[in-house]
Structure 1
Amino acid sequence: MEGEAGSAEESAPSQDAEPIASPEAGPGAGSASDRRIITVALMLGMAVAAMEQTVVSPAMPTIIARLQGVEIYALVFSAYLLASTVTTPLYGKLADRHGRKRVLLFGLGLFGLGSILSGFSRSMPELIAMRTVQGLGAGAVAPIVLTILGDLYTLEERARVQGLFSGVWGVSSIAGPALGGALTDHLSWRWVFFVSVPFGLVAMLILALRVRETVAERESQPLDWRGAALLTGGTSALLLAVVGGEGRSWEGEAGLLALAVVLLALFFRQERRAADPVLPLDLLAQPSLAASIAGSFLIGGLLIAIDTYVHLFVQGVRGGSATSAGRAIMPLFASWSISVFIAAKVVPRWGFRRTAVIGSSFIAGGSLVLVVGAILPEWSRLAFLIGMGVIGFGMGPTSLSYILGVQNAVPWERRGAATGSVIFSRMIGGAVIVGLLGAALGHLLAWRLGGLSGVEIAAALRPETHDRLAPDQLLAVRSALGRSLRDVFLLVTGLAAIGVCCAWRLAGGRAVDRPDAPAVSAKDSDLLAATAET
């Protein structure tokens, strides 16, 4: 739809149209206490999904020692990432058609089942299979949680609440490694997977009892399963080409990329023909929505790239420990948690474009400070502290503007697909951009250290293996790695500058609710009983 004209057309659907679900009060629903406890349940669901991405890493050495299979251990992460990414847009579409509640409960249930089965795994292939089940459930959590928040709150309220959820995501990501290490050391590596199950069950129980959502099903177009299959296949080929490809030949990588291009081209062709597409391509025809999706792609990539390569610099160039590398990334999440609360106050006043441009400029400026730290290793500790803080301060307003801008530009019955598109692009961006930067780093190191093997380079990255190298070799590796990471940070800065351009394409002016958006307040939150009407 485009503008108010589109809203007017959708307010009077034809007999063949998709049912429009509008929020209405259900019996006994909609109290302020209901809304608060439902928000707590959503927060629990978001926290367990966020923590699961980082809590497993500290346990992997122990898991490998118990289950063997070191040559395929990377698939423990890749399988989860792949499954959660490819299902995100499909869950968003299903939430628009069948309601948010049942889709989120299904996702949380599948996530919990995968967690339990992962904890009981007896071999590495079995663990990889169960992590896939876990990822299939996780794909529903972030997009549906954010979509429900879009239903629960007005724009001004939503800015504050989604800022809080961004803080929860950041804190959970920080706490994950520490919790994973403690559980592995004092209980068992299996508790790394079991720990999320009780919280997920509590969230499911609250949602099942407190959320009243009835969507009257009407005759509509069948779901575009062909498009969903093509998107899944194309995305899977693309992700397999950029993650988990250790030991694969360049011919194999090229074949996967070619397959991804073909399948995704067929997907876009299918979506133009489909009566009810999985990813509505007409959203991309609106410059502000296309900018939000492209900007989210860059944010996802930049966030994972910074996390990955700052850790590598601290350990490989400065000779720090894994603990000190973890501390180096903490200013990003800390300042992010602060900035989202500030952004929540300024987004309704300044609008999506202005807020995102300022935030994106902070990200680009902070990335440039990382370049300075890589050029001057003796100042890198201070430079990284400042750079990470500045980047985090920009992440909050930028990511919040992209999510709110998309949700505010579409009606209720398209909000799930639109939110899913943003989350999907962010996850794809994280995998693709980190993969491309990793390839660039590999080529740069090969060019600068052509005489050393990969084993010798790897020995320089861990303090306990430094004795395997001669002093001049260790110095050469550190120097080459520092210069190569400097170039990677320059590429990150260039991508951040492109992000500023994306932010300029967002809708300008003061941010206000859509004309057809429900008016909601703490006293009158008639939001959770969605009844489709003609």
Structure 2
Amino acid sequence: MSSQRTILITTGLMLSLFLASMESTVVSTGMPTIVSQLGGLEHYSWVFTAFMLASTTMVPLYGKLSDLFGRRPVFLAAMAIFLIGSVLCGLAVTMPQLIAFRAIQGIGAGGLLPLVFIIIGDLFSLEQRARLQGLFSGVWGVSSIIGPLLGGFIVDQASWEWIFWINIIPGLIATAIVWFAWVDRPRAHNAPKRSIDYAGAVLLTAGAVALLMSLTDLSASWALPTLVGALAMFGALVWIERRASDPVLPVGLFCDRMFLVACGHGILAGCAVFGGATFVPLYAQGVLGTSATEAGAALMPMLLAWVFSSIIGTRMLLRVGYRTVAFAGMIALVIGSFPLMFVDARTNRLLLMVYLGLMGFGMGFSIPAFLIAVQSSVERGKLGTATSTLQFSRSIGGAFGIGIMGAVLSATVTTRLETAGLDASVSLNSLIDPLGGDIAVSETLRAALGAGISSVFVVAFIAAALGLLVTLMAPRGLIADAAAERGRDEGMAQPAVERR
């Protein structure tokens, strides 16, 4: 493939990744205005939850579909669904409509995120991926930073509908670039016909939706039965996938030590970072007394450190074992999360930025290391499934962390209020005006919220520490060696395919 075509594809992929990752944050600053016009404050959180549910549950399916039908048509379908959802979101006139259209948008985004990294795995060699992986991680970090700022600017200067419609032109450009520049690898003429595992797809989607719904509100009466139902569906999924001729989620992948450790790390690291980061703005605004803008900016050190360290860490993978790089990252994550357990109203804001920066540094080192290691070792026929499953593990971990931490926060605040002789029915939403008004929290309520946030970060620290232990279980070796071994295995298998 020519260098010009490669540059075009890379540009299209970066633009697609920017749109899909930005959409999860750009809405946050526009939601107050949207609620004021559409009403339905009681459905506020579901605008985010619907997008998360849809995008997370579709990730493994898109990976498998891309293995079956090729990257290009599946990418086109994902982008089309994403853009249709974006158009519909801007046309919503009620909150239930917006929630439904956000789910459609999430179904598309759930394909864009994994397909970008899957195509990278197809397009570039190990050395090239090690150099470019940091760049693509940087796109994700920049989009996360720009998202809230861009959302606020659009609402102030235009109208909230353009938060969604702004995706249309860049999305069409990215689609045209990838469609005309990317060429899927040709399949052998005598390759066996591959079928779609419909039963596995249904169980995986239903189980993931049930799991995420139960984790969004662990205190609800329906949460435990839903969680049990999710576990039952995952049990049935394992039974079916072991017998399927072409499973949507190859259970055999989890017999590979590297892949199993990578998924375990993804769940625990996602729980620590994505879960903990969700409550940082609440801590900054409710306990430290910052403005909403300052609260949103509190996450910038984490995101910037993530971008910088991912660029450095991926280059180190060419000379240092991936286990060493990931271990160094997890050490930083543990060190950064430990002092957060003791934050209160007197915590120095500069130190808070340092702690969060260490956590971002840890993710920037460990996440790309495991991703490139898995992509370099798994056979090409399962590359899409393996990559998307790895991303799915981090999303599940983040959802699990948010659910657990939310329950811990609510229980701690309630206990503190009851001890102080105040009405324990005061909800977290009443501590801070969700529509961006002045902060009106008494010292008692502020102290109760501070204690709750500290408890949240205890959960984050435990998850980070367990993630460190899981990382130690990863096999040693250089990624180049794993890639070479895969090449030898595929070279030995090729003649057998030709003889058939």
Which of 226, 246, 254 does residue 276 from structure 1 map onto? 246
Alignment check: 8 A CA contact 1:90 1:228 kept:
yes
2:322 partner letter: F
- Aligned length in residues: 483
CA distance in 1, matches of 2:32, 2:406: 22
Q: Which one-letter code corresponds to 1:379 in the other structure?
A: T
The equivalent of 1:365 in structure 2 is: 335
What secondary structure does 1:295 align onto?
Answer: helix
Secondary structure of 1:514's aligned partner: helix
Q: Which moved more, 1:97-106 or 1:65-74?
A: 65-74
What amino acid does structure 1 have at the position aligned with 2:407?
A
Q: Decide which of 492, 508, 514 is 2:483's aligned counterpart.
A: 514
CA distance in 2, matches of 1:242, 1:262: 16
Quote the residue 1:68 is aligned against: 39
Contact 2:405–2:456 at 8 Å: present in 1 too? yes
Task: Indicate the SS of the match to 2:184.
Answer: coil
Secondary structure of the structure 2 residue equivalent to 1:449? helix
Query: Which of 148, 154, 166 does residue 125 from structure 2 map onto?
Result: 154
Given residue 491 of structure 1, which amino acid in structure 2 is its aligned partner? V
Secondary structure, counterpart of 1:172 in structure 2: helix
Deviation at 1:320, TM superposition (A): 1.2
What is the distance in 1 between the residues matched to 2:77 and 2:132?
A: 24
SS in 2 for 1:508: coil
Q: Distance in 1 between matches of 2:479 and 2:107?
A: 35
Query: C-alpha distance in 2, partners of 1:341/1:287?
Result: 26
Does 1:228 find its partner at 2:211?
no
Q: CA deviation at 1:192?
A: 0.2
Q: Check 1:204–1:516 CA distance in 2 against 1; reply closer, same or farther (3 A cut).
A: farther
2:368 is matched by which residue type in structure 1? L
Match of 1:424 in 2: 392
Letter in 2 for 1:515: A
Tell me whether 1:263 sits opposite 2:233 in the alignment.
Answer: yes
- Percent identity, aligned pairs only, is 38
User: CA RMSD, aligned part only?
Assistant: 2.0
In structure 2, the gaps of 5 or more residues are: 489-496
Contact in 1 for aligned 2:134/2:310 (Cα 8 Å): yes
Q: Which one of the candidate residues 51, 55, 66 is aligned to 2:22?
A: 51
Q: How far does residue 466 in structure 1 lie from its aligned partner after superposition? A: 5.1
Q: Give the TM-score of the pair, scaled to structure 2.
A: 0.92
Indicate whether 1:208 and 2:179 are aligned: yes
Match of 2:451? 483
1:16 paired residue number: none
Identify which of 332, 341, 348 aligns with 2:311. Answer: 341
Q: How far did residue 330 of structure 1 move?
A: 0.5
Please state how far the C-alpha of 1:461 moved relative to its aligned partner: 2.9
Kept in 2: contact 1:343–1:396 (CA 8 A) = yes
**Residues 117/250 of structure 1: CA separation in 2 closer, same or farther (3 Å cut):** closer
1:400 aligns with 368
Q: 1:13-48: per-residue Cα shift (whole Å, max 9, x none)?
A: xxxxxxxxxxxxxxxxx0111111110100000000
Q: Is the 8 A contact 2:410 2:428 kept in 1?
A: no
Give 1:503's match in structure 2, choosing from 464, 471, 487.
471
Residue deviations 1:281-337 (CA, integer Å, cap 9, x gap): 111112211010111112222222222121111111111111111121100111111
**Which residue identity does 1:309 align to in structure 2?**
F
Is 1:242 equivalent to 2:210 in the alignment?
A: no
- Asked if residue 383 in structure 1 is aligned to residue 351 in structure 2, the reply is yes
Are residues 1:305 and 2:275 paired? yes
Q: Which amino acid aligns with 1:177?
A: P
- Kindly provide the CA deviation profile for residues 403-427 of structure 1, in whole angstroms up to 9, marking residues without a partner as x: 1111111111110000010011111
Matched, 1:437 2:437: no
The answer as to whether partners of 1:288 and 1:506 remain within 8 angstroms in 2 is yes
Residue matched to 2:101: 130
2:276–2:401: 8 Å Cα contact kept in structure 1?
no
1:517 Cα deviation from its structure 2 partner: 6.1
Matches within 5 A, 1:94-173: 94-173=65-144
Q: Determine if contact 1:298/1:495 at 8 Å carries over to the other structure.
A: yes
In the TM superposition, residue 457 of structure 1 has moved relative to its aligned partner by 5.1
Which deviates further from its counterpart, 307-316 or 216-225?
216-225
Aligned counterpart, 1:15: none
Using the alignment, how far apart are the partners of 2:350 and 2:14 within structure 1? 34
Letter in 2 for 1:239: L
- How far is 1:64 from its partner? 1.4
Q: Distance in 1 between matches of 2:219 and 2:340?
A: 33
Change (3 A) 1:492 1:235: same
Paired letter, 1:421: T
2:347 counterpart SS class: helix
Judge conservation of contact 1:353–1:505 (CA < 8 Å) in 2: no
Greater Cα offset, 302-311 or 312-321: 302-311
Q: 1:352 aligns with which of 322, 347, 371?
A: 322
Amino acid at match of 1:332: M
Q: Are the aligned partners of 1:85 and 1:427 in contact in 2 as well (CA < 8 Å)?
A: yes
**Contact 2:65-2:74 at 8 Å conserved across structures:** yes
Aligned partners of 1:459 and 1:466 also within 8 Å: no
Shift in Å, 1:518:
7.2
Q: CA deviation at 1:438?
A: 0.8
- Whole-angstrom distance in 2 between the partners of 1:454 and 1:191: 38
Q: Distance in 2 between matches of 1:440 and 1:298?
A: 17
Residues 135 and 208 of structure 1: CA distance in aligned 2, closer, same or farther (over 3 Å): same
Q: Secondary structure at the match of 1:58?
A: coil
Per the TM alignment, residue 172 of structure 1 is displaced from its structure 2 partner at its CA by: 0.2
Q: Does structure 1 retain, via aligned residues, the 8 Å contact 2:378–2:486?
A: no
8 A contact 1:108–1:200 mirrored in 2: yes
**Superposition deviation, residue 84 in structure 1:** 0.9
Give ranges in structure 1 of 5+ residues lacking alignment. Answer: 1-29, 520-531
- The answer as to whether partners of 1:319 and 1:461 remain within 8 angstroms in 2 is no
TM-score normalized with structure 1 length: 0.86
C-alpha distance after superposition, 1:239-265 (max 9, x if no partner): 11122x4xx974312221121122111
- The answer to which of 307-316 and 87-96 deviates more is 307-316
Query: Residue 296 of structure 1 aligns to which amino acid in structure 2?
Result: G
Displacement of 1:509 in angstroms is: 2.0
Give the corresponding residue for 1:493: 461
Aligned-residue offset at 1:516: 6.6
d(CA) in 2 for partners of 1:265, 1:140: 25
Does 1 or 2 have the higher relative contact order (CA < 8 Å, sep 6+)?
Answer: 1
> What code does the residue aligned with 1:398 have?
S
Q: Distance in 2 between matches of 1:50 and 1:272?
A: 34
The Cα shift of 1:187 comes to 0.6
Cα distance change of structure 1 residues 43 and 517 upon mapping to structure 2, 3 Å threshold: farther
